[in-house]
Chains A and B, each alone.
Chain A
Amino acid sequence: MTPIVVAEDLRKTFTLTRKQQRIERTREARRVAVNGLSFCAYRGEIYGLLGPNGAGKTTTLRILSTLIRPDAGDAYLLGHSVVKEAAKVRDCIGFLTGELKLEAFFTPDYLFEFFGAMHGLGKEEIRARKRDLFPRFGIDKFAQVKVGDLSTGMKQKVSLAISIVHDPEIIIFDEPTNGLDVLTTKVIVDFLAELKRMGKSILLSTHIFSLVEKLCDRVGVIIDGRMIAEDTLSALTAESSLEDKFFALYRQEKGDVI
């Protein structure tokens, strides 16, 4: 088992603006989103960060994909530090969120080539990747249709294909199935399974138990920015279902609030 993502004591605190304070009805000026988080994901595995709303999952994944910097601690992806070698990290990861983030005006074909170029790939490489990925996702028939005109499922497939245009070793996926219907969810679950078969390592965040049970090899439970439990899925679910285990952990952590 080779460690591929190693997070060491990550910390992130946000300063809340007046407006945020008002919306959340709080007086605190600072919000600790990630509070000394350490974990390790291994090559070829799917690692799931499981936690309730506001646990710090998105913040953690954004730190790992170098979109934001940790206040303290560091993380290493394929040995590259997210703090010191951000550009290197960006070239070996694909970062995805459940919400669609592609410009509606362009065609899948155009965007695929554009993002290929953003990762520094040559024309020929991009074309080869396209020949491989488009048929695999069934995008080839829709390659010249504007993203805005595609069905949600097809859009999701396109953004999946684009996120791995540069054949990244690690795929980071924030809330892969949040708010999607059953069909699109299936597309994504199949995609992740396919990536795993291709030998990729995957890090995803979710609050949906069934997704974790279906896909993940290893699970980290986050509550209030801290890692409460971390183990393989089989070890965590040895005695009870994942759901029961999670609520047991939650009560242990926060007292009898639920």
Chain B
Amino acid sequence: MKLAALMRKEFYRFFHDPRLIIAVLIPGVIIFLVYTVLGSILSSDKDETYAYRVFLSGDSVAVSLIGAAVEESGNTVEWVTATDAESAKSAVENGEATAFLAFSDGFDTAAGEVELYYTSGETESFSFGSIASALLREYGMRYRFQSVDLADESQLQSQFMGAFLPMLIVCFTFTASMGITVESVAGEKERGTIATILATSVKRSHVALGKIIPLACISLLGAASGFFGIVFSMPRLMGLSIAVFDFGIRNYILLFFLTVSIVPFIVACIALVSTYAKTVKEATAYVSIIMIFFIVLSVVAGIATGIGEWVVAVPVLNATVVMSLLLGGALPVWQTLVSVGCNLVYTALLVFLIAKMFQSERIMFR
């Protein structure tokens, strides 16, 4: 009952103040606008049409379907029969050809196999790859479809999402939750209104949870706004279709859980230092340090390779590393589950600590 009333008050505060709503949702909108404008400036030659040169081995009706789809997109395709697979692949790799499509023998009659080689480092190859894989996936019940990205590790585009999205998610979570959490916790402490609540018989842990849960939900909104801001502006910015990142639904679910698990943790972190701090100003200073720390960590996590499995036990960093894996197309199920579990345990610990701090007169009545 009391917890419900505490939570309701926090939500009420947020949803009845347009300024707060705007402050939380604005990062996503700004990202979208900036990226879209940037995208249209950078790729003013975006409408340039491509003449794809695609190596082909084996044959299928799918070829003509792909051809039709390519023409529909305003591009042209020239099919070249591949003599051997290896030289076709290396031609794709060094940019002499757009892509290489290999159908197994009798693909249309028997349930066969089809492989698509492209390189995400080349815009042209990438755009063909997205058209072809979208089509092949759509009809992909009867056969096995595999698309292979031949881009080497240093090629930015394939790495873009993997390296920067986790960092951006961490960034958005911080920016979305920082203002409201600092205001709600340190602000109430500074103005003394929290003491009024602590003088009632409500449990300290409920006061802590009554703040963390609603603030985490609201921050999630902010993080989501940032996330969608990127996703929707990505095509404009990169001149690419996000359909290329067509991971399975399972990848999206894992990505979702990872995001959801770091938001409460980050909110709890901010709430903790806000509880400790004497004033909003002091709290903001602490939070900025923590934010920079986690952002640097997640940038490193996005770029560095070969981080050990121990990383799943490190809050926030675990989510960014596993997100990178996910966005790279892998399906790291146990890593996701352990990371989410760890983040939740850490969050619970922080909530416990905050409740303890509410009890501590040294902290509350400095």
Contact = CB atoms under 8 A, between A and B. Distances in A.
A114 B365 contact: no
B202 interface: yes
Given A68-B361, A101-B192, 17 more contacts: A65-B199, A87-B201, A95-B196, A95-B199, A99-B192, A101-B195, A105-B13, A105-B16, A106-B9, A110-B9, A110-B12, A117-B5, A118-B6, A118-B202, A119-B200, A119-B201, A120-B1
B365 A101 contact: no
Q: How large is the interface on A (under 10, 10 to 19, 20 to 34, 35 or more residues)?
A: 20 to 34
A118 B191 contact: no
A118 B2 contact: yes
A67 B196 contact: no
A94 B195 CA distance: 12
22 contacts: A62-B361, A66-B199, A67-B199, A69-B361, A88-B201, A93-B199, A95-B199, A101-B196, A102-B193, A102-B196, A103-B188, A103-B193, A105-B13, A105-B16, A106-B12, A117-B2, A117-B5, A118-B5, A118-B6, A119-B201, A120-B2, A120-B201
A115 B202 CA distance: 10
A102 B6 CA distance: 15
Q: How large is the interface on B (under 10, 10 to 19, 20 to 34, 35 or more residues)?
A: 20 to 34
Interface in B1-18: 1-2, 5-6, 9, 12-13, 16-17
Contacts of B9: 106, 110, 114
B148 interface: no
Contacts of A102: 193, 196
Interface in B167-226: 188, 191-193, 195-202
Contacts of B5: 114, 117-118
A90 B195 contact: no
Contact of A91 (B1, B188, B197, B201): B201
Nearest to B199: A95
A124 B212 CA distance: 29
B56 to A, nearest CB: 66
A68 B196 CA distance: 13
Nearest to A14: B362
Contacts of A62: 361, 365
B193 A115 contact: no
Nearest to B360: A68
B191 A101 contact: yes
Contact of A118 (B13, B16, B201, B361): B201
Nearest to B5: A117
Interface in A42-98: 62, 65-69, 87-88, 90-91, 93, 95, 97
A117 B5 CA distance: 7
Interface in B323-366: 361, 364-365
A119 B203 CA distance: 11
B201 A90 contact: yes
A67 B195 contact: yes
B200 A115 contact: yes
Contacts of A91: 200-201
Contacts of B201: 87-88, 90-91, 118-120
Nearest to A94: B199
Contacts of A115: 196-197, 200
Contacts of A67: 195, 198-199, 361, 364-365
A9 B125 CA distance: 84
Nearest to B4: A117
A67 B12 CA distance: 27
Contacts of A93: 199
Nearest to B194: A101
A32 B5 CA distance: 39
Contacts of A114: 5, 9
A93 B201 CA distance: 10
B57 to A, nearest CB: 68
A106 B13 CA distance: 8
A65 B16 CA distance: 33
A140 B226 CA distance: 43
Interface string A192-224: 000000000000000000000000000000000
